[in-house]
A and B are shown apart, each in its own frame.
Chain A
Amino acid sequence: MSAITLAMLLTTAAAAPVDFDTDVLPILTKAGCNAASCHGSAAGRGGFKLSLFAGDPAADHTAIVHQLEGRRVNYVHPKSSLLIAKPTWQLDHEGGLRFDFDSPESETLAQWIAEGATRRRLRRLVRLEIEPEELVLAGPGEQVQVNVTAVFDDGSRRAVGHRAVYSPDDSSAVEADGQGALVVRRRGRHVVVVRYLSEVSTVQVTVPLSDEPVDLDSAARSNWIDDEVLAMLKTLRLAPSPPADDATLLRRLRLDLTGRLPTPGEVAEYTADRRADKYARLVDRLLDGDEFVDYWTFRFAALLRLRGGDPPAAHAFHGWIREQIKSNAPLDQMARTLLLAEGDTHEVGPANFYRAAGDARAQAEYTSEVLLGVRLRCANCHNHPLDRWTQDDYHGLAAIFARMERSRIVRLGPRGEVTNPRTGEAAVPRIPGDKYLEADGDGRDDLADWLTQGDNPYFAKAMVNRLWKAMLGRGLIEPTDDLRQTNPATHPRLLARLAEDFVAHGANLRHTLRTIALSATYQRSAVATSAAAADDRFYSHALTKPLEAEVLADAIADVTGIAEKFGEQPKGTRAVTLVDPATPSAALDVLGRCSRQETCETSPGGSGGLTTRLHLMNGALLNARIASDEGRLRQQLAAGRTSDEVVRGFYIRALGRQPRDEEAKYWKTQLAAPSEGERRRRLEDFLWSLLSCQEFTTNH
């Protein structure tokens, strides 16, 4: 009785008319009605289809009011409407009870129907304000309240915490009660996605990893990167590791900038160098060299998914990329050239940008992933459930590419369109999330202008995030092609500063790499302090990176002195200089290369594990090289080197350092053999283990 009285009071009190878009739809979203597993699925559910998370209010209004001969709403007895009877389980409902018959939700829906079930469009949501957006708690178990305010275009503001949907990225770490109260169960940094209508935002909650504050005053600090990284370490109470030693740092930088191991001469020279600025000199020397150009051409070819199907075209594309890297072309200019390229793909390298994808839609996905670092593909069939992207964005971007003719000759054709499945009509060209373009113009100019203007929200961030990952082993945002509001950076301010600095310096690849290399963060040892052993994203110590298949294959060839044979390529060709990623190579098959059919930025599954180990033990990759007469080991034995000299030589080549005393002693004992044949076998076994050990197969 009292419940009914209360409901009546509420109804009377709510004199304001109910708005479909901003009152009714949030109820359906909160109750899960329009989720992908229910009526929001592409095919609907039980004959009733809603747009995913209310992305298309007009369609939802039609579905509710006009479909099924209007039986979903009953103007005479509003509470007998199917719209209310089903979710309150007055009638059988596969989805069960979503809210009570006497609930405020049910009353609001009834009032809306009683008022005529119209779509008044009284107000439009402008943005969500979340307070606080970021907070640091003392320890696990603490509860906090987050306030969510919706701001509408009529100037009104409403607290919508009870209507918003809360999704922690890790539900074992954060519990959300659905009203904005959060309880954090585990230490660390966690993200909760808050959704209200079409807007999504995030709350970032940190519980320090230790109860003891850490002293960072004495921590090494070289530039502003360190300020940001150390600030986070301080919040998290993680102690950073000391700087790496000279030999380690030389090997690390050499591999990151050139994909090669340092030569014995370099190791000797660098470790003996007493100048205070020797590290900065090393950075500059490596950035200026041809080996940098080779390696970063390889990295950009992988990013752009250069494949070898049409060899002359692949060579033209590869040659063009190499020219850009060599001349240090601004990366935004590179992007512009790619977008605007036309011509014979055997001559005009960048025109191959339009042959990397099969059609306009695939081109839209490829372009968004490669140049914007965002994944538009969800928005092909429905508005992106986790981001702002709509079907209009996806098909609008595809429409910009619809006229491209993508055979050997790439050019803008006279016609071409893509159908937007939402409207059933030709999609209007559109810069995603920004603006519509003229239907019959060439939208690529506008797209290139937008992409390369300094305040573009995606391009610079996507690029610096990748460069950061190349150097530090983990993107500030992971995966690196999945930038979105609901996937925030581990260090948002650092990412923003890197992007600003990148833009301010003319999208200069070498400048950003140099800045990162010179930070104390990059130069830290990979040996973690005991408290920070589990840290894999806050840079308290350097992350150990497995060598890429191509780099490892080249390193094995360099150490053993036996080059890999790559298909028909001339002897001595290096894996990182291959144009075609599918060039026949047993070594690359074993070590697991990326075919570039899809992005190479997420680690592929496939081989590896026990299979690879078995091959390294019993296959030809290492065994044939170790025992070859042409190989470095046999040559050294033929030249009469002692076992100690051989060991030292291979340590320098493979690990970039001298053996420590205990190591030298160990090998002396192990390699003392009764016969020359036995000594050779033991040295081969030594070399095998050196090429298999973790210190060799990783960059650390």
Chain B
Amino acid sequence: MRTNPLIQRCDGVSRRDFVRVGGLTALGLGLTDLLRLRVASAKINTAASRASRCILIWLDGGPTHLETFDLKPDAPAEVRGPFQPIATNLAGVQISELMPHTAKVLDRLAIIRSMTSPLGEHNFGAHYLLTGYKPTPVLEYPSIGSVVAHLRGAASVLPPHVAVPQFRVGGGRLAGNGFLSEASRPFSVGGDPAKPDFRVRDLDFYPGIDDERIDRRQTFLSALDGFQREVETSDAAPSDPGFQQAYRLISSREAKQAFDLRDESPATRQRYGPRTVGQSCLLARRLIERGVPFVTVNNPGWDTHTNAYTRLKEGYTGAKVPVGLIPSLDQALAAMVGDLDDRGLLDETLIVVMGEFGRTPKLNVDGGRDHWPRVFSVALAGGGVPGGQVIGASDATGEGPAERPVTPSDLAASIYTLLGLDPHQTLETPDGRPVHLSRDGRPLPELVG
């Protein structure tokens, strides 16, 4: 692979060197040393942009815009739906009554109410939103998270793109890394962070195996793959990078600690809420703090064709405290914004909240809403995004954009720009084809300045 000048570090250490350094952890160079190296190298990015990391809260299934960020109180009942708007700390802007926590930090958020896409099928829509490209049969594009992981590289032994709890998005057909190497594929931690016994699967040694044996196995494996490569004159087969990455992760005590939520105080854990999305966001914050450039928090269940009232608000019929999709997200999102702010990390951490499309303006006969890509909402915070603004608007019934239509490729270009990456820089497919991070997306001036 060619060295891309854009991923040269300020101290002259290239990404390749960093990977090598990562492999040395078992020999005593700890995570903290690496972090120090990374902080030094991150300064150059700071000059270009404030954000160096990103947490994507992916609302899988297609979140309703009409019950979250874009209510239509003046529309007919079948459009308006069951929930009322409430005031926020931003004069003149209302959001759903199910989001009281978020309403208090709305001055930190930028909401786009005029997202628009033609793709109303889960896999297609997810591909478009997550990659900035419409799907095509000739090439599977990488998700934004994997592009960031690929270009930033692993700053520590932790994988550069982590999915919490997993990356089963948009119907499950996307691996995430598209045409990029497996090293940038999102690492799914598995399990449920909200469970008391949550552990990352297979991170601990199998009985009878220790550091020495893991090292030896790695040496043997490299030797075997090396023998094979000597036979193949081609230079196309690198030693299995997946195993190298796994090896580095297993050998690092600090990495294991990064995933351990028991390290957090009860107050912090409560702040994020007891549900999976909340504890996933907390884990995302821990990873971001340790230098992981991109974390996808996957929050499934938003495909609310039926019985939306219960699923969005209560969580289950007759719940005393609502634990549905929206209240859970509300608590998690507001906690993450506040917590990152308290730690002085909000400015360098971009938060994006989105799903593959919105929901139909009219409620259907089953009390739900169906797929609707023509207009929907996305929220961003931190990472230098000017907070307290609403970008664009949908029409009176939430059916189409009334002004300032924003495409998923515009959004992708904006995210790249906020993260200090030029949307016009190119990646290379395995067969040598150059592909821009974003082909026709225009970064939104309201977001990137």
A471-488 interface with B by 8 A CB criterion = 478-479, 482, 487
Given A527-B234, A608-B175: A618 touches B434 (CB 8 Å cut-off): no
Given A605-B175, A610-B246, A617-B247: A682 touches B228 (CB 8 Å cut-off): no
Which of A113-121, A166-174, A572-580 lies at the binding interface? A166-174
User: Is B196 interfacial (CB-CB < 8 Å)?
Assistant: no
Contact B208 A614 (CB under 8 A): no
Contact A169 B138 (CB under 8 A): yes
Contact B159 A666 (CB under 8 A): no
Which of A83-91, A287-295, A636-644, A685-693 lies at the binding interface? A685-693
Q: Contacts of B177 on A, CB cut-off 8 Å?
A: 609
Interchain CA distance A666-B224 in the complex, whole Å = 10
Interchain CA distance A373-B174 in the complex, whole Å = 22
Given A606-B172, A610-B249: A618 touches B209 (CB 8 Å cut-off): yes
Interchain CA distance A536-B139 in the complex, whole Å = 14
Contact A534 B432 (CB under 8 A): yes
Taking a contact as CB atoms closer than 8 A, the residue among B223, B240, B246 that contacts A666 in the complex is B223
Q: Contacts of A617 on B, CB cut-off 8 Å?
A: 202, 206, 214, 217, 243, 246-247, 250
A612-635 Cβ-contact flags toward B at 8 Å (1 or 0): 111111111001000100000000
Taking a contact as CB atoms closer than 8 A, the residue among A170, A530, A627 that contacts B433 in the complex is A170
Contact B233 A663 (CB under 8 A): no
Q: Which single residue of chain A is at the shortest CB-CB distance from B216?
A: A685
Taking a contact as CB atoms closer than 8 A, the residue among B176, B225, B249 that contacts A614 in the complex is B249
B244-270 interface with A by 8 A CB criterion = 245-247, 249-250
CB distance from B105 to the nearest CB of A (A): 34
A144-177 Cβ-contact flags toward B at 8 Å (1 or 0): 0000000000000000000000000110110000
Taking a contact as CB atoms closer than 8 A, the residue among A170, A612, A614, A694 that contacts B237 in the complex is A694
Taking a contact as CB atoms closer than 8 A, the residue among A43, A169, A666, A685 that contacts B213 in the complex is A685
CB distance from A88 to the nearest CB of B (A): 21
Q: Contacts of B247 on A, CB cut-off 8 Å?
A: 617
Given A536-B431, A670-B220, A695-B224: A611 touches B190 (CB 8 Å cut-off): yes
CB distance from B142 to the nearest CB of A (A): 13
Q: Contacts of A170 on B, CB cut-off 8 Å?
A: 138-139, 433
Contact A487 B245 (CB under 8 A): no
Contact B209 A623 (CB under 8 A): yes
CB distance from B298 to the nearest CB of A (A): 13
User: Is A127 interfacial (CB-CB < 8 Å)?
Assistant: no
User: Is B35 interfacial (CB-CB < 8 Å)?
Assistant: no
Interchain CA distance A695-B235 in the complex, whole Å = 16
Taking a contact as CB atoms closer than 8 A, the residue among A169, A487, A611, A693 that contacts B224 in the complex is A693
Q: Contacts of A623 on B, CB cut-off 8 Å?
A: 206, 208-209
Given A611-B190, A613-B246: A172 touches B433 (CB 8 Å cut-off): yes
User: Is B197 interfacial (CB-CB < 8 Å)?
Assistant: no
Contact B187 A611 (CB under 8 A): yes
CB distance from A421 to the nearest CB of B (A): 15
Given A605-B172, A619-B202, A685-B217: A627 touches B227 (CB 8 Å cut-off): no
CB distance from A484 to the nearest CB of B (A): 10
CB distance from B168 to the nearest CB of A (A): 7
Contact A611 B217 (CB under 8 A): no
Contact B236 A604 (CB under 8 A): no
Q: Which single residue of chain A is at the shortest CB-CB distance from B167?
A: A605
B163-204 Cβ-contact flags toward A at 8 Å (1 or 0): 000011000111111000010010110100000000001111
Q: Contacts of B430 on A, CB cut-off 8 Å?
A: 534, 536
CB distance from B256 to the nearest CB of A (A): 12
B83-120 Cβ-contact flags toward A at 8 Å (1 or 0): 00000000000000000000000000000000000100
User: Is B374 interfacial (CB-CB < 8 Å)?
Assistant: yes
CB distance from B114 to the nearest CB of A (A): 12
CB distance from B126 to the nearest CB of A (A): 11
CB distance from B58 to the nearest CB of A (A): 14
A511-530 Cβ-contact flags toward B at 8 Å (1 or 0): 00000000000000011111
User: Is A679 interfacial (CB-CB < 8 Å)?
Assistant: no
User: Is A681 interfacial (CB-CB < 8 Å)?
Assistant: yes
Contact A36 B433 (CB under 8 A): no
Contact B232 A618 (CB under 8 A): no
User: Is B345 interfacial (CB-CB < 8 Å)?
Assistant: no
Q: Which single residue of chain B is at the shortest CB-CB distance from A478?
A: B137
Interchain CA distance A623-B202 in the complex, whole Å = 12
Given A617-B202, A617-B217: A689 touches B224 (CB 8 Å cut-off): yes
User: Is A41 interfacial (CB-CB < 8 Å)?
Assistant: yes
Q: Which single residue of chain A is at the shortest CB-CB distance from B401?
A: A94
Contact B168 A606 (CB under 8 A): yes
Taking a contact as CB atoms closer than 8 A, the residue among B173, B214, B435 that contacts A605 in the complex is B173
Interchain CA distance A608-B188 in the complex, whole Å = 10
Contact B187 A610 (CB under 8 A): yes
Interchain CA distance A315-B46 in the complex, whole Å = 63
Taking a contact as CB atoms closer than 8 A, the residue among B139, B174, B225, B232 that contacts A527 in the complex is B232
Contact A605 B176 (CB under 8 A): yes
Q: Contacts of B221 on A, CB cut-off 8 Å?
A: 688-689, 692-693
Counting chain B CB atoms within 10 Å of each CB, the highest count among A487, A606, A610, A686 belongs to A610
Given A614-B249, A663-B227: A694 touches B233 (CB 8 Å cut-off): no
B118-141 Cβ-contact flags toward A at 8 Å (1 or 0): 100000000000000000111100
CB distance from A19 to the nearest CB of B (A): 30
User: Is A533 interfacial (CB-CB < 8 Å)?
Assistant: yes
A451-480 interface with B by 8 A CB criterion = 478-479
Interchain CA distance A688-B208 in the complex, whole Å = 13
Q: Which single residue of chain A is at the shortest CB-CB distance from B230?
A: A662
User: Is B231 interfacial (CB-CB < 8 Å)?
Assistant: yes
Given A663-B227, A695-B224: A487 touches B137 (CB 8 Å cut-off): yes
Contact B431 A534 (CB under 8 A): yes
Q: Which single residue of chain A is at the shortest CB-CB distance from B439?
A: A171
Q: Contacts of B216 on A, CB cut-off 8 Å?
A: 682, 685
Interchain CA distance A662-B235 in the complex, whole Å = 20
Q: Contacts of A616 on B, CB cut-off 8 Å?
A: 243, 246
Q: Contacts of B374 on A, CB cut-off 8 Å?
A: 41, 43
Interchain CA distance A534-B177 in the complex, whole Å = 19
A566-611 interface with B by 8 A CB criterion = 602, 604-611
Contact B233 A527 (CB under 8 A): yes
A414-445 Cβ-contact flags toward B at 8 Å (1 or 0): 00000000000000000000000000000000
Q: Which single residue of chain A is at the shortest CB-CB distance from B200?
A: A614
User: Is A223 interfacial (CB-CB < 8 Å)?
Assistant: no
Contact B234 A528 (CB under 8 A): yes
Q: Which single residue of chain A is at the shortest CB-CB distance from B407?
A: A37
Taking a contact as CB atoms closer than 8 A, the residue among A173, A619, A663 that contacts B206 in the complex is A619
A164-206 interface with B by 8 A CB criterion = 169-170, 172-173, 186, 188
Q: Which single residue of chain A is at the shortest CB-CB distance from B436?
A: A172
Contact A618 B227 (CB under 8 A): no
Taking a contact as CB atoms closer than 8 A, the residue among A533, A613, A619 that contacts B242 in the complex is A613
Taking a contact as CB atoms closer than 8 A, the residue among B118, B172, B201, B204 that contacts A611 in the complex is B201
Q: Which single residue of chain B is at the shortest CB-CB distance from A663?
A: B227
User: Is B316 interfacial (CB-CB < 8 Å)?
Assistant: no
Contact A662 B227 (CB under 8 A): yes
Q: Contacts of A169 on B, CB cut-off 8 Å?
A: 136-138
Q: Can you list 24 A-B pairs, Cβ within 8 angstroms, ordered by A?
A: A43-B374, A170-B139, A173-B433, A188-B431, A527-B233, A536-B431, A602-B173, A608-B185, A610-B159, A611-B201, A613-B246, A615-B202, A618-B203, A618-B205, A618-B250, A619-B202, A623-B208, A627-B208, A662-B227, A685-B220, A689-B220, A689-B223, A689-B224, A692-B240
Q: Which residues of B contact A (CB under 8 A)?
A: 118, 136-139, 159, 167-168, 172-177, 182, 185, 187-188, 190, 201-206, 208-209, 213-214, 216-217, 220-221, 223-225, 227-228, 231-237, 240, 242-243, 245-247, 249-250, 374, 430-435
Not counting A605-B176, A688-B221, a sample of 11 additional A-B residue pairs whose C-beta atoms are within 8 angstroms of each other reads A41-B374, A186-B432, A604-B172, A614-B201, A666-B223, A681-B213, A682-B216, A689-B221, A692-B221, A692-B240, A694-B228
8 nearest interchain CB pairs? Answer: A689-B220, A613-B246, A693-B224, A614-B202, A605-B175, A689-B221, A37-B118, A618-B202
